[in-house]
Amino acid sequence: MSAAGYHAAMTNYTAPLDEIRFVFAEIAPLADLTGLEAFSHVDPDVVDGLLEEAGRFAAEVVAPTNRDGDLEGARVVDDRVEVPASFHEAYKHFVASGWGAVQHPEDVGGGGFPLTITMPVKEFVTSANMAFSLAPMLTTGAVHALLSHGDEDQRRRYLPKMVSGEWAGTMNLTEPQAGSDVGAVTTKAVEQADGSYRLTGQKIYITFGEHDLTENIIHLVLARTPDAPDGTRGLSLFVVPKYRVDDDGGPGERNDVTVVSIEEKLGIHGSPTCVLAYGEQGAGAYAELVGEVNDGMRAMFTMMNDARLAVGLEGVAIAERAFQQAVAYARERRQGRAPGAAEGEQSRIIEHPDVRRMLLTQKASIEAARALCYVNAYAIDRARHDDDATARSHYQGLADVLTPLSKGWSTDLGVELTSLAVQVHGGMGYIEETGAAQHLRDARIAPIYEGTNGIQAIDLVGRKLAGDDGAFVTAYLDELANLVDGFDDDHAAPLADALGVLRRCTTWLLEHRGDPGDLLAGATPYLRLFATVVGGVLLAKGAAAARRHLDDPPASGFDEEFLTAKVATATFYLEQLLPQVHGLAPAVTAGAERLTGVAESSLAP
């Protein structure tokens, strides 16, 4: 590939609009959402125009900043952080176009659209530039927390400009001594005579904790009041603005929040990951309590659960970007002679069976993970807004189960599939010039974000499965089995076998829930097994719809080639990727003894 070709492959991105339209038609049905009273104002034609424009915006405005951002990175200048120069113009357009406001309520300046509809907007922007996308992602989570737990005055002062994107938001949990053990947080907040607080402490790994994209940054910070109990029960949530809001609603006095440093990271170089110090220059940073004292974890989980699905979508988005580049390279790069090629002719590598296998593995896995994430969002929308209370309860249970699957499996796949994209490039993939390596470097953080994937697995088996003695998960597996019974035999048979494996593993974990060691030892392979099966069912559901539409493709809105590919991609997944569940089962049911059978002293020479 020529130098010009490399540059184009690095910067080009095409939003997968037909894929999204198909998901909305057949997997996470948009018509069911717009039929709800809460979303009766949502016009399908408006949604289609929104998707078109979001795809154009991501491709033309954001995607060209991806390589610039990686090379330039963020940097500390005096007491502030400068992000890559190209981010500024893109972010101005992001705010002016209202992309960050689409999913928020209309009464705070939002568009009032379902979360499901905003998923492709987030996906497109993340595919275009993952580092750039993290600023609005964290702001969205902060908005959710304040909507749910802030008082009327806080919502009035902070939300309009956060919803518009004029101000950014952050989430501050981690401290040097705490890591994922949030209960070990030591940041202190002392109440003042006027009801405000003064906050002191240090936070690490704060994404976009300081930057020059917005005129203000609204930090949501976990801290302890002086008499708080130990552990997570003693945590409270506070608003700590970079600039206190003045009487006119604009940035006023600078608060005592300073950036100590930013991390030198493997990837997402354009996103500043900050160490922040609170209250080092005086009596403490000005802070306002959000909700009740010692109720901070409940408030923070409102933000974290939103972020967990968003991070799962990052796995899909970065894998899609890497896949598109790998396909473009494989279509142009010539090497060797593929089976059936003429003597003495070099074949395009896309014609070689092993390269085709890698590309199909990427395509099938991305489509399965995307379907899972979008169904997760659909469940959240139904849980929040369904007109029927029984349906709301059911969909809340479904969202609770799918969230760790979406976050854990999709981000693991993001790493694996971006690595495959490097492999398609061969030696050129290992050279930064092609840009393929950047996607792998960027993707690697997502399995760590918002609770590592091991924590997601623990949540799945400890709370979502064992919490109600398996009642909801068992009912959900019955629901999947009923769906599979309606598929053609070539798709139903492998899925029925895989569901049988999932049922047996589920039963084993429930029988061993009294032994935390056995339960937790099987957690990670169980999450992988569970998600792999759900992904297969969703692909087969799409394939069944595609088969129906092939009798009259124009009526479906999709052409014959697209529909045929849907069936073929699902078949590939079920025949070549789904069988891994049989290999995962022994790891689920092996118990803790296999993990402790080697002495700690023997793990290293």
Give the CATH number, domain containing residue 15.
Answer: 1.10.540.10
Percent of the chain at pLDDT > 90 equals 88
- Are 93 and 188 members of one domain? no
Instruction: Say which DSSP state 43 is in.
Output: -
Percent of the chain at pLDDT > 70 equals 97
The model's pLDDT over 88-128, given as tens digits with 9 standing for 90+, comes to 999 999 999 999 999 999 999 999 999 999 999 999 999 99
**Beta strands at 257-262 and 273-278: parallel, antiparallel or unpaired:** antiparallel
Neighbours of 560 (CB within 10 A): 13
- Are 462 and 565 members of one domain? yes
- Are 60 and 185 members of one domain? no
The model's pLDDT over 26-82, given as tens digits with 9 standing for 90+, comes to 999 999 999 999 999 999 889 999 999 999 999 999 999 999 999 999 999 988 999
Helix axes 389-425, 523-549, angle to 10 degrees: 90
- Are 177 and 113 members of one domain? no
The model's pLDDT over 451-484, given as tens digits with 9 standing for 90+, comes to 999 999 999 999 999 989 999 999 999 999 999 9
The model's pLDDT over 415-441, given as tens digits with 9 standing for 90+, comes to 999 999 999 999 999 999 999 999 999
Closest CA to 591 of 542, 534, 525, 543: 525
Instruction: Say which DSSP state 224 is in.
Output: B
Helix, strand or coil, per DSSP, at residue 605: coil
Task: Specify the number of domains making up the chain.
Answer: 3
Closest CA to 235 of 152, 298, 175, 279: 298
- Are 222 and 208 members of one domain? yes
Tell me, yes or no, whether 374 lies in a domain. Answer: no
Check if the beta carbon of residue 573 is closer than 8 Å to that of residue 364: yes
- pLDDT category at 7 given cuts 50, 70, 90 is low
State the sign of the Cα–Cα–Cα–Cα dihedral 552, 558, 564, 566.
Answer: negative
Tell me, yes or no, whether 445 lies in a domain. Answer: no
The DSSP line for 317-386 is HHHHHHHHHHHHHHHH-B-S--TTPPTT-PPBGGGSHHHHHHHHHHHHHHHHHHHHHHHHHHHHHHHHH-
Check if the beta carbon of residue 395 is closer than 8 Å to that of residue 379: yes
Tell me, yes or no, whether 317 lies in a domain. Answer: no
Q: How high is the pLDDT of residue 344?
A: 86
Distance, CA of 425 to chain centre: 26
Instruction: Decide: residue 601, CB within 10 A, 0-12 exposed, 13-18 middle, 19+ buried.
Output: exposed
- Are 144 and 254 members of one domain? no
- Are 529 and 588 members of one domain? yes
Alpha-carbon gap, residue 72 to 228, rounded angstroms: 44
Q: How high is the pLDDT of residue 1?
A: 54
- Are 456 and 589 members of one domain? yes
Alpha-carbon gap, residue 235 to 44, rounded angstroms: 43
Instruction: Name, in order, each residue with C-beta under 8 angstroms of 469's C-beta and a sequence gap of 6 or more.
Output: 510, 513
Tell me, yes or no, whether 520 lies in a domain. Answer: yes
What mean pLDDT, rounded, does the chain reach? 95
Q: At which of 271, 295, 319 does a domain end?
A: 295
Tell me, yes or no, whether 47 lies in a domain. Answer: yes
Task: Give the residue numbers spanning the domain of 146.
Answer: 7-163
Tell me, yes or no, whether 410 lies in a domain. Answer: no
Active-site positions read 450
The model's pLDDT over 296-355, given as tens digits with 9 standing for 90+, comes to 988 888 888 888 999 999 999 999 999 999 999 999 999 999 898 888 899 999 999 999
- pLDDT category at 197 given cuts 50, 70, 90 is very high
pLDDT over 90 (residue 597): no
Check if the beta carbon of residue 494 is closer than 8 Å to that of residue 574: yes
Instruction: Decide: residue 178, CB within 10 A, 0-12 exposed, 13-18 middle, 19+ buried.
Output: middle
Give the CATH number, domain containing residue 270.
Answer: 2.40.110.20
- pLDDT category at 177 given cuts 50, 70, 90 is confident
> 259 — phi, psi (to 5°)?
-90, 125
Helix, strand or coil, per DSSP, at residue 554: helix
Check if the beta carbon of residue 263 is closer than 8 Å to that of residue 67: no
- Are 509 and 589 members of one domain? yes
The model's pLDDT over 231-264, given as tens digits with 9 standing for 90+, comes to 889 999 999 999 999 999 999 999 999 999 999 9
Q: At which of 275, 295, 315 does a domain end?
A: 295
Instruction: Name, in order, each residue with C-beta under 8 angstroms of 600's C-beta and a sequence gap of 6 or more.
Output: none
Alpha-carbon gap, residue 504 to 502, rounded angstroms: 6
Provide, for the chain, the percentages of residues in helix, strand and coil under a 3-state DSSP scheme, each rounded to the nearest 5.
Answer: 65, 10, 25
Tell me, yes or no, whether 175 lies in a domain. Answer: yes
- Are 30 and 135 members of one domain? yes
- Are 116 and 231 members of one domain? no
Place of tokens 């130098």: 3
Instruction: Name, in order, each residue with C-beta under 8 angstroms of 426's C-beta and a sequence gap of 6 or more.
Output: 333, 335, 349
- Are 138 and 198 members of one domain? no
In 150-242, which residue ranges form alpha helices assigned H by DSSP?
152-164
Which tops the pLDDT comparison, 183 or 453?
Answer: 453
Check if the beta carbon of residue 74 is closer than 8 Å to that of residue 271: yes
Q: At which of 129, 148, 163 does a domain end?
A: 163
Tell me, yes or no, whether 505 lies in a domain. Answer: yes
